[in-house]
Structure 1
Amino acid sequence: MRIVTWNLWWRFGPWAERQKAILAVLRELRPDVVGLQEVWEADGENLAGWLAGELGLHWAWAASEAPERWQRRLLDSGAGTVGVGNAVLSRWPVTDRAVLKLPAPEDLDDGRLALYAGLDTPGGRLPFVTVHLTSASHASAVRAEQVGALAGFVAEHARDAGHPPVLTGDFNAEPDSAEVRPLAAHGFRDLWEYADPDAPAATWDPANPYITGEEAARVDHIHVGPPGPGTVRAVRRAGDGPVDGVWPSDHAAVVADLSDGPGTPGW
């Protein structure tokens, strides 16, 4: 099973050209399941739906309840019609779906959420969640509260599943941060632990021309909950360079390849 997480940078920058580059990266990766953040919806079109159609995948989508906070950041006249949210693309049918609105104080509440999709794999239901935590640099305590709510949300939907739950997303925090570390206490493993220690790890990287004046950081994560991920064959970045001269997003994607192992029938 190949799992990908990727923040797609909404409708910022050269979004129409980036859309083609995003598709090219995903087509080359041939993922089984993808968690997406900052997905746009406008004029009857949804980026995740379009990607799913091009790639022959199933999909699920959840929209932010506060898109206006995002829309004010766009300068084009159509900003008021553009939605933003999270999505899941899947090789297998989506049998059920749920959304968690993440807690946040009013001044920081821009509709961040977690999307759960139950996936009907040959080995049983796979509980798959993708999340986008608050981004403000001073909001560590807010993200910690969001992670607490997220852990309960994932546990609720992981009962009686055929696979351990998979949690993906843009956490806007590094793995050793106060907000991400508590996931280990809930039995989650950060799959980057299995990556080549010499491989480039930053998913927020100043080498990307869309990023200026910031330090490199690994803020995008794939975690697998109890009883564990079985055999992890490879973990790496993707989408971390230009496609026909266009960088697909301001974030790099994370890719993890899993195979059968104890407690993970049918990966």
Structure 2
Amino acid sequence: MTLNVWNSRGNAAARAALINAELRRLAPDLVAFQEILPDQLPRLVEGTGLHGTHQSQTAATAPPYADRYGGTAIATRWPHRVAEVLDQRGTDAPDVPWLTLAALVPLPGLDEVLFIAPTLSFRLEAEAQRERQALALSDLDARHRTALPTIMAGDFNADPDSACIRYLTGRQSLSGRSTHFHDAWQVAGSGPGHTWTSDNPRAAEDIELLVRQPGHRRRIDYVLVGSPHAHRHACARVRSTLLAFDEPVDGVWASDHYGVVADLEVGLLGEGPLTSERG
């Protein structure tokens, strides 16, 4: 599962209670959070049985604006270990306060799975930055890849036709390189799957600020699953993909983004029945 928490804006306490209740109901095994403040993480995962790590617990330095816009966090059903923290800032993206977390998560009866939680540059004109960041994500995967297919979930700030997403899903090359992940929504989602849309009143303010066009709707939040080309002896079959937090509860919207939940069956080929994971 992935969800942009929208830091502490709006009615943060009511939104946190809603997110926590829905996490208890959905019971995901792997969760990627974006724009989450360090003190929000314990409240969101309280009583869920999830083990959480915020980027502030792992980073040597705090990126600029992290105290206002939050950072990246992960939560997993089983205790994980952080393999690497990737700072995706650069001269072309100096104001991105969100780090990428890569964690190894042991799946019962199987092996460790690499879980990567990125947040890419948000500006509409920042596709060149996102291309560089996508290349770095594929390098990150290669450094820590396990036998089980890598699972990557987060806010990519790019629609499916963007170069960075086309690269990650094997539909185009970047800098003479190519890779391939399955887009869980493309495999098993229904409808356009918009996750940042003017239909959500919580998104309206930022859409007006950043886009300034009516009826703006995009799918920019993803669950991506490693390819058989990189994981020849394992698979992660996408059984269903749904939106989450896409309706208000008692008038409260959880975030300015909708979340994405994918049900995966993960296993080693020839090793008996697959294990069902929700992430």
What is the TM-score of this pair, normalised by structure 2? 0.81
Q: What pairs up with 1:1-267 in 2 under 5 angstroms?
A: 4-41=1-38, 46-63=39-56, 65=61, 68-69=64-65, 71=67, 84-105=70-91, 108-122=94-108, 123-158=110-145, 161-183=146-168, 184=170, 185-197=178-190, 199-212=191-204, 213=208, 215-227=216-228, 229-260=235-266, 263=269, 266-267=275-276
CA deviations 1:197-226 (Å, max 9, x no partner) are: 4x3510001111112245100000010112
Q: CA deviation at 1:190?
A: 0.7
Give the Cα–Cα distance (whole angstroms) in 2 for the partners of residues 259 and 50 of structure 1.
29
2:174 equivalent in structure 1: none
What is the TM-score of this pair, normalised by structure 1? 0.84
In structure 1, list runs of 5 or more residues that go unmatched: 72-81
The change in CA–CA distance for 1:97 and 1:47 in structure 2 (over 3 A counts) is: farther
The change in CA–CA distance for 1:135 and 1:196 in structure 2 (over 3 A counts) is: closer
The change in CA–CA distance for 1:30 and 1:107 in structure 2 (over 3 A counts) is: closer
In the alignment, is the contact (CA less than 8 A) between 1:108 and 1:134 conserved in 2?
no
In the alignment, is the contact (CA less than 8 A) between 1:9 and 1:249 conserved in 2?
yes
Q: Matched residue pairs, number?
A: 247
In structure 2, list runs of 5 or more residues that go unmatched: 171-177
State the identity %. 36
SS in structure 1 at match of 2:21: helix
CA deviations 1:63-121 (Å, max 9, x no partner) are: 375554355xxxxxxxxxx6721111111111343200003326642323210111111
In the alignment, is the contact (CA less than 8 A) between 2:102 and 2:115 conserved in 1?
yes
Give the Cα–Cα distance (whole angstroms) in 2 for the partners of residues 9 and 111 of structure 1.
13
Q: CA deviation at 1:261?
A: 5.8
In the alignment, is the contact (CA less than 8 A) between 2:238 and 2:262 conserved in 1?
yes
In the alignment, is the contact (CA less than 8 A) between 1:5 and 1:254 conserved in 2?
yes
The change in CA–CA distance for 1:21 and 1:111 in structure 2 (over 3 A counts) is: same
Paired AA for residue 65 in structure 2: R
Give the Cα–Cα distance (whole angstroms) in 2 for the partners of residues 54 and 225 of structure 1.
30
CA RMSD of aligned residues (A): 2.2
In the alignment, is the contact (CA less than 8 A) between 2:80 and 2:104 conserved in 1?
yes
SS in structure 2 at match of 1:156: helix
Give the Cα–Cα distance (whole angstroms) in 2 for the partners of residues 147 and 119 of structure 1.
22
SS in structure 1 at match of 2:197: coil
The change in CA–CA distance for 1:230 and 1:70 in structure 2 (over 3 A counts) is: closer
Give the Cα–Cα distance (whole angstroms) in 1 for the partners of residues 25 and 250 of structure 2.
14
Give the Cα–Cα distance (whole angstroms) in 2 for the partners of residues 118 and 222 of structure 1.
17
